[in-house]
């Protein structure tokens, strides 16, 4: 979300077609193979808004955190967003994770990859995990790029 104080966003140019990048970010079982931070994403249904699932990732150490997620925006081939929230705290803080793709040519894609926090607990949540999120997004964006370029 542009203008949010509690966000991280990374941008890169991927030397692969937009379909290859879309495949990487929507192949949820594949995240465990290439993502430096996400251990599992499980989506229970179709790739459309409202579909729910879970994400597992280490938070502040190696202990895995399991968080419910819901797909909130899907624009086939160009935009994917899900919202996650700590169990029991949905009304207080939400993390909105997104990937925006822009076709620059047949084998070139701009990737914007980010997360923004919303809710009355966003400031507190960001003060706890923000620094780790920024570092993680730098690594994760590079991993998306490498995986898409390897597969193209």
Domain ranges in the chain are 33-151
Instruction: Provide the 3-class DSSP secondary structure of residue 14.
Output: strand
Please give the structure tokens belonging to residue 109: 């894609």
Chain segment 120-130, per-residue pLDDT in tens:
888 888 887 77
The CATH class given to the 33-151 domain equals: alpha beta
Distance from the Cα of residue 37 to its chain's centroid:
10
Cβ-based neighbours of 35, under 8 Å, separated by 6 or more: 140, 143
CA–CA dist 122, 133 (Å, integer): 13
The string of DSSP codes covering 44-74 is: -S-SSTT-EEEEEEE-SSSSEEEEEEEEEEE
Residue 90: the pLDDT is: 63
Query: What is the tens place of the pLDDT at every residue in 82-101?
Result: 999 876 666 688 889 999 99
Helices 122-151 and 18-26: crossing angle, nearest 10°?
130
| Helix, strand or coil, per DSSP, at residue 95 | strand
Quote the radius of gyration of the chain (alpha carbons, Å): 15
Residue 70: beta bridge partners?
52, 83
Tell me, yes or no, if the pTM score tops 0.85.
yes
Q: What is the pLDDT of residues 20-31, one digit of tens each?
A: 999 999 999 999
């Amino acid at each position: 979300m542009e203008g949010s104080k509690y966000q991280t966003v990374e941008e890169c140019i991927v030397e692969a077609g937009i379909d290859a990048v879309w495949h990487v970010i929507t192949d949820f079982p594949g995240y465990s193979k290439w993502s430096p931070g996400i251990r599992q994403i499980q989506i229970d249904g179709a790739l459309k808004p409202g579909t729910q699932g879970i994400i597992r990732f280490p938070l502040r150490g190696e202990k895995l955190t399991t968080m419910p997620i819901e797909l909130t925006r899907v624009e086939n081939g160009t935009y994917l967003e899900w919202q996650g929230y700590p169990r029991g705290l949905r009304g207080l803080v939400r993390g909105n994770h997104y990937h925006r793709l822009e076709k620059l040519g047949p084998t070139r894609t701009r990737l914007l990859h980010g997360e923004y926090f919303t809710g009355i607990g966003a400031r507190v949540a960001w003060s706890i995990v923000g620094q780790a999120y920024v570092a993680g997004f730098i690594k994760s964006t590079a991993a998306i790029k490498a995986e898409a370029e390897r597969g193209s």
